[in-house]
């Protein structure tokens, strides 16, 4: 499997990239960086830090500095830290340098080099992918599969527009363009994320291993763990939105339930801008374009984490 990963390099992004790098049947051809959880200037070093951990020689292409139309609002330092990787003091600086080619141009070039072979995994706002689509309208047809983490399928978001999930809300226009142009899409929503945490007992067991990778994951995730475990809204486990999207990409057999629907994005509502709109009743007359994943085999996800950390 040839992968291209588009990322805004927060804590869960880092784990998703690690999962791909550790998988025996995946080759990561490139990583493209986009402003989202943190600004692009921090995203690129974050990706390089993860690649250093695996000593992986993979090109990193810097992409969009900001959303297509909206002003940029970061996810919040209380979630990912100021640097996007939990402000972990044990982090080592990377000497890697990104490529000079812009991400959107790189995506088009890679699709032309490997037509019909690339699986594109979008872990952040889809600004780079929208720009690639505008550069080359045939780009979506050259991608074998697009999997993205984003959206809310029951209007349970995690932003100030309470019906909108962060990755879509960060750049609604980009998501609208991508959903309109692609037909071979898989979606892991925020609600699916909430339904599939890593239980704390499993999380503690996974990070009890003494490897450089487990130390890294424990270090960058420490502040977020305290927020999820002991904060005002306590969760039953560690939330892994991007690793879930990567898991079903690497192992599609982990999908236990899904449904294919027409999905688009609301761009104008004062309370609903950035909301993913799902046509459950076929009212729009539009062809279904997204496989919405609703249930995932978590035992398989645990196995991928063990492989990634050990």
Question: In residues, how long is the chain?
Answer: 310
Q: What is the band of 193 on the pLDDT scale with cuts at 50, 70, 90?
A: very high
pLDDT for the residue 37 = 96
Binned at pLDDT 50, 70 and 90, residue 210 comes out as confident
CA 178 – CA 129 distance, rounded (Å): 7
What's the pLDDT at 233?
80
pLDDT (tens digit, 9 = 90+) per residue, 88-129? 999 999 999 999 999 999 999 999 999 999 999 999 999 999
- Domain range summary for the chain, segments of one domain joined by +: 2-309
pLDDT for the residue numbered 78:
86
Average pLDDT of span 228-239: 89
Contact 38, 80 (CB under 8 A): yes
Using the predicted structure, report yes or no on whether residue 232 has a pLDDT greater than 80: no
> 179-190: buried (b, 16+ CB within 10 Å) or exposed (e) per residue?
bebbebbbbbbb
Q: How far apart are the first and last CA of the chain?
A: 22
Residue 310, pLDDT > 90, answer no
pTM for the model stands at: 0.97
CATH superfamily of 2-309: Ribonucleoside hydrolase-like (3.90.245.10)
Distance (Å, whole) CA 162 – CA 76: 16
Inform me whether the pLDDT recorded for 136 exceeds 80: yes
């Amino acid at each position: 499997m040839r992968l291209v990963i588009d990322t805004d390099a927060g804590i869960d992004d880092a784990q998703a990239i690690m999962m791909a790098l550790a998988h025996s049947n995946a080759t990561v051809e490139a990583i493209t960086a986009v402003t989202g959880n943190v600004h692009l200037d921090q995203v690129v070093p974050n990706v390089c830090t993860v690649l250093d951990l695996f000593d992986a020689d993979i090109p990193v292409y810097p992409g969009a500095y900001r959303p297509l139309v909206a002003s940029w609002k970061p996810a919040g330092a209380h979630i990912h830290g100021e640097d996007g990787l939990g402000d972990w003091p044990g982090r080592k600086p990377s000497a890697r340098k990104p490529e000079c080619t812009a991400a959107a141009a790189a995506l088009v070039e890679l699709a032309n080099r490997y037509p019909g072979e690339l699986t594109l995994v979008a872990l952040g706002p889809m600004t780079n992918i929208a720009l690639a689509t505008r550069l080359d309208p045939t780009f979506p047809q050259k991608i074998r599969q697009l999997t993205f983490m984003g959206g809310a399928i029951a209007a349970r978001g995690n932003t100030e527009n309470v019906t909108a999930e962060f990755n879509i809300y960060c750049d609604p226009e980009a998501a609208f363009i991508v959903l309109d142009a692609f037909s071979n899409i898989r979606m892991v929503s925020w609600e699916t994320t909430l339904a599939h945490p890593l239980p704390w007992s499993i999380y503690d067991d996974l990070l009890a291993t003494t490897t450089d990778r487990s130390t890294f994951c424990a270090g960058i995730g420490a502040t977020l763990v305290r927020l999820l475990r002991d904060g005002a809204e306590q969760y039953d486990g560690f939330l892994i939105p991007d690793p879930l999207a990567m898991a079903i990409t690497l192992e599609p057999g982990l999908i236990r339930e899904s449904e294919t629907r027409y999905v688009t994005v609301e761009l104008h509502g004062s309370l609903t801008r950035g909301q993913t709109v799902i046509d459950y009743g076929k009212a729009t007359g539009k062809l279904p374009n997204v496989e919405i994943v609703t249930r995932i085999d978590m035992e398989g996800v645990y196995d991928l984490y063990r492989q990634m950390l050990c």
